[in-house]
Amino acid sequence: MEQENKTSGALKKSSRYRSRSLSASSTDSYSSNSCTGSSSEDDDISPREKIQKNSGGSNDFCVRNINQHAFGRREIEIAEQEMPGIMALRKRAGDDKPLKNAKVIGCTHINAQTAVLIETLSALGASVRWAACNIYSTQNEVAAALAEAGFSVFAWRAETEEDFWWCIDKCINAENWQPNIILDDGGDATHLMLKKYPAMFKLIKGIVEESVTGVHRLYQLSKSGKLTVPAMNVNDSVTKTKFDNLYSCRESIIDSLKRSTDVMFGGKQVIVCGYGEVGKGCAQGLRGVGCIVYVTEIDPICALQASMDGYRVVRLNEVIRNVDIVITATGNKNVVTREHMDKMKSGCIVCNMGHSNTEIDVNSLRTTDLTWEKIRSQVDHVIWPDGKRIILLAEGRLVNLSCSSLSSFVVSITSATQALALIELFNAPPNRYKSDVYLLPKKMDEYVATLHLPTFDAHLTELTDDQAKYMGLNKAGPFKPNYYRY
Contact positions with its own copies (CB under 8 A) in 265-304: 265-269, 285, 287-292, 296-304
Q: Which is nearer to its own copies, 199 or 301 (CB)?
A: 301
Q: Which is nearer to its own copies, 128 or 360 (CB)?
A: 360
Instruction: Identify which range of 117-125, 159-167, 198-206, 256-264 contacts its own copies by CB under 8 A.
Output: 256-264
φ, ψ for residue 383, nearest 5 deg: -110, 125
**Alpha-carbon torsion, ordered 460, 117, 136, 214, to 10 deg:** -70
Within 19-78, the residues that bind its own copies by CB under 8 A are 78
Within 396-455, the residues that bind its own copies by CB under 8 A are 404-410, 439, 445-447, 449-450, 452-453, 455
Tell me how crowded residue 267 is: count the other CB atoms within 10 A of its CB. Answer: 9
Q: Running DSSP on this structure, what letter comes out for residue 355?
A: S
Q: How far is the CB of 14 from its own copies (least distance, A)?
A: 19
Q: Which is nearer to its own copies, 48 or 381 (CB)?
A: 381
Within 146-205, the residues that bind its own copies by CB under 8 A are none
Query: How far apart (Å, rounded) are the C-alpha atoms in residues 98 and 188?
Result: 26
Q: How far is the CB of 248 from its own copies (least distance, A)?
A: 8
Q: Which is nearer to its own copies, 13 or 434 (CB)?
A: 434
Angle between helices 408-427 and 442-452 (to 10 degrees): 140
Q: Is 347 among the residues that bind its own copies (CB under 8 A)?
A: yes
Q: Is 483 among the residues that bind its own copies (CB under 8 A)?
A: yes
**Alpha-carbon torsion, ordered 139, 145, 151, 157, to 10 deg:** 20
With a CB cutoff of 8 Å and minimum separation 6, the contacts of 183 are 104, 105, 106, 107, 108, 208, 210, 418, 422
Tell me the one-letter amino acid at 42: D
Q: Which is nearer to its own copies, 38 or 467 (CB)?
A: 467
Within 231-250, the residues that bind its own copies by CB under 8 A are 236, 238-239, 241-243, 247-248, 250
**Residue count at the site for its own copies (CB under 8 A)?**
100
Query: How far apart (Å, rounded) are the C-alpha atoms in residues 124 and 156?
Result: 26
Q: Is 262 among the residues that bind its own copies (CB under 8 A)?
A: yes
With a CB cutoff of 8 Å and minimum separation 6, the contacts of 343 are 317, 320, 321
Q: Is 334 among the residues that bind its own copies (CB under 8 A)?
A: yes
- Up-side HSE of residue 426: CA atoms within 13 Å toward CB? 26
Within 307-326, the residues that bind its own copies by CB under 8 A are 307-316, 318, 322
Tell me the one-letter amino acid at 144: A
Q: How far is the CB of 215 from its own copies (least distance, A)?
A: 11
Q: How far is the CB of 172 from its own copies (least distance, A)?
A: 31
